[in-house]
Amino acid sequence: MVGKGAREDALSWRLAQSSSCAAVFAAPGNAGTASRGENWPIAATDGKSLLARAQAEKIDLVVLGPETAIAAGVGDRLRAAGLAVFGPDRSAGRLESSKVFAKRFMERHGIPTARARVVHSLASAERVLVDWNGACVVKADGLAAGKGVVIADNAAEALAVVRAWYAAGIPGGGSDVLLEQKLEGREVSVFAIFDGRTFAPLTSACDYKRAGDGDTGPNTGGMGAYSPPAGFPADYEAIVAREILEPVARGLATDGERYVGVLYCGLMWTARGPVVIEFNARFGDPETQVMMPRVQGDFAALLASAARGALEPDAASFTHEACVGVVLAGADYPRASAPVLGISGDVALGAGKTAFWGGSARRDDVVDADGGRVLTVTALGATVAAARGEAYAAVRELAARMGAGSALSYRSDIGALGDSVVSA
Ligand code: AMP
Ligand code: GLY
């Protein structure tokens, strides 16, 4: 398992419970992965060292967690050496690592997405924005760790963003910027597994991106999630398969791209149905933390079948139970992510509840966390409301035993559906 976040902790937790899996190693891993297998002190982007160690340990399946590993070509290098890798090569991974590539791909293959113009300079942005009406989403082309998207209310605000970016450097270090129409609707993250030829829908989740209750405050990597989503049309997964996933699979084949791994479709459910906001070439964080507790069957066999190019969609499935996950973050997250030292390392909870560590390391009985998103506390329940009650009970239980960790902050409305559920 390549990576070190709570997403990777949740994946390794589920892989370790798969009947086809003998052992799980993580590189570089975190306090959670260390509790169930060895952590290798190798960075997620260090393809050379990962290859050497994976060969030495005769690893059967490598799962790429973060987009940085994919964009660094770790998949290409390991696959070229004959290893089974779940995660796309760098080229197909451009569906995430280049927003311009993804936009052109969607336009070429008739995949619904927001209209956008690509600009290469401040002067061309000025020309495009002269007759722009309404809000404008300004997006940096490359990977920018969540800092490459600004929603501007009008053309003047958008131009100010573009001007600042061209003056100070575009987030992610690229040179192109997209100016995109703002979509209205509700967001949902839909996941599907591709084996290079075919695909199988996995499940989906709703993520809470803003720092504060009621979707206020700055954008974050995600403060919580629940799965499955509520308030979408009953047949929404079939609609997404038909309108998005099938044209994606055909488009990849037409373009000669072999995509092996999970495709994360960040969708806006608009009045005319699902529209793609973005693709990611990896699992979501915190979506994965609320999807893994719902898995039944042999998840390792599912990922291995995709890596082999012979997808076995029935190897694993998802229960109808709901799962809610609450992220506990450093007090100043996302403005600052100072380390949180000396948190109680005991995060074991009762049946149906699991806490996953973000970037962190064990030191005897305690854990030192990098800061930012420290833990995702999850609980299953018959309904989202029941799972939410259990998840917050678990948060209170952990806060009482956490010592330094009790200074962590979290949203209190994760999974509180209330008025946000529109019946479609
Ligand atoms: P991205 O990095 O593309 O996922 O964008 C981050 C967030 O910005 C998304 O999760 C949305 O909440 C928002 N966003 C991005 N593009 C759009 C759009 N065209 N319309 C409305 N919201 C958007
Ligand atoms: N949940 C947002 C992401 O993983 O990109």
pLDDT given for residue 165 in this prediction: 93
Cα–Cα distance measured from residue 231 to residue 328, given in angstroms and rounded to the nearest whole number: 26
**DSSP letter for each residue of 136-168:** EEEEESS--TT-SEEEESSHHHHHHHHHHHHHH
Cα→Cα distances 414→137, 164, 215, 248, 411, Å: 26, 34, 10, 31, 6
For ligand 2, atom 4: residue with the closest CA? 284
pLDDT given for residue 405 in this prediction: 63
Cα–Cα distance measured from residue 287 to residue 277, given in angstroms and rounded to the nearest whole number: 16
Assess whether the region 115-181 and the region 322-423 belong to the same CATH fold.
no
Distance of CA 403 to the CA centre of its chain: 29
The bound ligand whose nearest atom lies closest to the alpha carbon of 143 is: 1
**DSSP letter for each residue of 239-289:** HHIIIIIHHHHHHHHHHT---EEEEEEEEEEETTEEEEEEEESS--TTHHH
Pocket test for ligand 2, best of 207, 282, 327 (most atoms within 8 A of CB): 207
Q: Is 222 in the pocket of ligand 2 (CB under 6 A)?
A: yes
C-beta atoms surrounding 338 within 10 Å: 13
For ligand 2, atom 5: residue with the closest CA? 284
Cα–Cα distance measured from residue 174 to residue 226, given in angstroms and rounded to the nearest whole number: 33
Collapsed DSSP state (helix, strand, coil) of residue 424: coil
pLDDT given for residue 397 in this prediction: 92
CATH hierarchy code of domain 115-181:
3.30.1490.20
Q: Give the atom of ligand 1 at the shortest distance from the alpha carbon of 278.
A: 3
Exposure string of 26-57, with b = 16+ CB inside 10 Å and e = fewer, is bbbbbbbbbbbbebbebbbbbbeebbebbeee
Pocket test for ligand 1, best of 95, 101, 149 (most atoms within 8 A of CB): 149
Instruction: Please give the CATH architecture assigned to the domain spanning 322-423.
Output: Alpha-Beta Complex (3.90)
Residue 384: partners with Cβ closer than 8 Å, 6 or more residues away = 226, 230, 322, 324, 415, 417
- Element housing 337 (H / E): none
DSSP tag of 182:
P
pLDDT given for residue 219 in this prediction: 86
Contact (Cβ atoms closer than 8 angstroms) between residue 187 and residue 267: yes
Pocket test for ligand 2, best of 191, 285, 292, 373 (most atoms within 8 A of CB): 285
Residue 119: partners with Cβ closer than 8 Å, 6 or more residues away = 125, 128, 162, 176, 177, 178, 179
Contact (Cβ atoms closer than 8 angstroms) between residue 155 and residue 135: no
pLDDT given for residue 65 in this prediction: 98
Q: Is 284 in the pocket of ligand 2 (CB under 6 A)?
A: yes
pLDDT given for residue 53 in this prediction: 98
Collapsed DSSP state (helix, strand, coil) of residue 340: strand
Cα–Cα distance measured from residue 3 to residue 6, given in angstroms and rounded to the nearest whole number: 9
| CATH topology classification for 2-89 | Rossmann fold (3.40.50)
Q: Domain extents for the chain?
A: 2-89, 115-181, 186-318, 322-423
Q: Which among 204, 286, 285, 214 is positioned nearest to 245, based on CA atoms? A: 204
Q: 364-418: per-residue pLDDT in tens?
A: 889 999 989 999 999 999 999 999 999 999 999 998 888 766 789 999 999 998 7
Query: For residue 201, with 0-12 CB atoms within 10 Å meaning exposed, 13-18 middle and 19 or more buried, which class applies?
Result: middle
**DSSP letter for each residue of 285-325:** TTHHHHHGGGEEE-HHHHHHHHHHT---GGGEEE-S-EEEE
**DSSP letter for each residue of 38-63:** PBP---TT-HHHHHHHHHHTT-S-EE
Instruction: Please give the CATH architecture assigned to the domain spanning 186-318.
Output: 2-Layer Sandwich (3.30)
Query: For residue 375, with 0-12 CB atoms within 10 Å meaning exposed, 13-18 middle and 19 or more buried, which class applies?
Result: buried
All residue ranges of the chain with pLDDT < 50 are 419-424
Q: 306-358: per-residue pLDDT in tens?
A: 999 999 999 999 999 999 999 999 988 998 888 989 898 899 999 999 999 99
